[in-house]
Amino acid sequence: MAHWIQEDALKINMGSLLKGAQEAEGTAIIIDVYRAFTTAAIAFERGAKEIVLVAEVEEAMELRKRGIGELCMGEVGGVRPEGFDFGNSPYELSQADVAGKTLIQSTRAGTVGVTAALKADKIYACALVTAQATAKAVTSDLPEVVSIVAMGAGGARSDEDEQCALYLRNLLQGRTPDPGSVRRLILAGEESQKFGDPTRPQFHAKDKEHALQIDTMPFAIGVTRENGLLLARPEHT
């Protein structure tokens, strides 16, 4: 159940999972640290023009077929879908040439959350790498309500997204949270253990390293609705 915090005129709604995204109002910050929106941030760092966010693999493939977007990236169960150009891997995107490209992203948590945030007036896609930039962008917007949604993994809450949500809340409320403490708590969590596991090669060890580079990106990832599409673009702060 979401709960509300009053900080001066700003209401902050803390939610989780798909239900949290569906209930998000005002400015929605949809969080997916492992790995969707870390991957998106890396793609923008590599020069990607924009990313079309969709819920389903089939939708991504159809959009590419229609010429709306050039490359598909994402996952189902952590694995790159057949026909996709990239998986949901920050490390993989850090090695890719995507400059000037429009990408299409479909994942089981982050992009599903964005597409579900139908009540929101404005949406940001967020990970730890863009946390501070996102807080700055939201603060400059002067919203009355902010809904922070930790999307989790496999339909369950996850340490990395919940910790990112708390980190963001602290930033929005004018405090200075400690990135090192956040990183240590996440590294002790269940989701962090799968990276580098030789039985799960789809989770590259360097994905975790990229995801926990807190506040390294100078931009937020803003999402706008245009011609029936959800388009993510970097917003420099």
Span 10-67, pLDDT tens digits? 999 999 999 999 999 999 999 999 999 999 999 999 999 999 999 999 999 999 999 9
45 occurs within a structural domain: yes
156 occurs within a structural domain: yes
Pairing between β-strand 219-226 and β-strand 10-16 as defined by DSSP bridges: unpaired
Domain count, the chain: 1
Domain of residue 54 covers 16-236
In the numeric block, which tokens belong to residue 32?
Answer: 């997916």
Span 165-195, pLDDT tens digits? 999 999 999 999 999 999 999 999 999 999 9
How remote is the C-alpha of 163 from its chain's centroid?
13
4 occurs within a structural domain: no
Question: Does 1 have pLDDT greater than 80?
Answer: no
227 occurs within a structural domain: yes
Pairing between β-strand 71-74 and β-strand 102-106 as defined by DSSP bridges: parallel
pTM: 0.96
11 occurs within a structural domain: no
How many Å apart are CA 117 and CA 50, to the nearest integer? Answer: 19
41 occurs within a structural domain: yes
Confidence (pLDDT) at 161: 98
5 occurs within a structural domain: no
Contact 75, 18 (CB under 8 A): no
158 occurs within a structural domain: yes
- Which class for 167: exposed (0-12), middle (13-18), buried (19 or more C-beta within 10 A)? buried
Q: Please report, for the domain that includes residue 179, its CATH number.
A: 3.90.1560.10
Contact 92, 55 (CB under 8 A): no
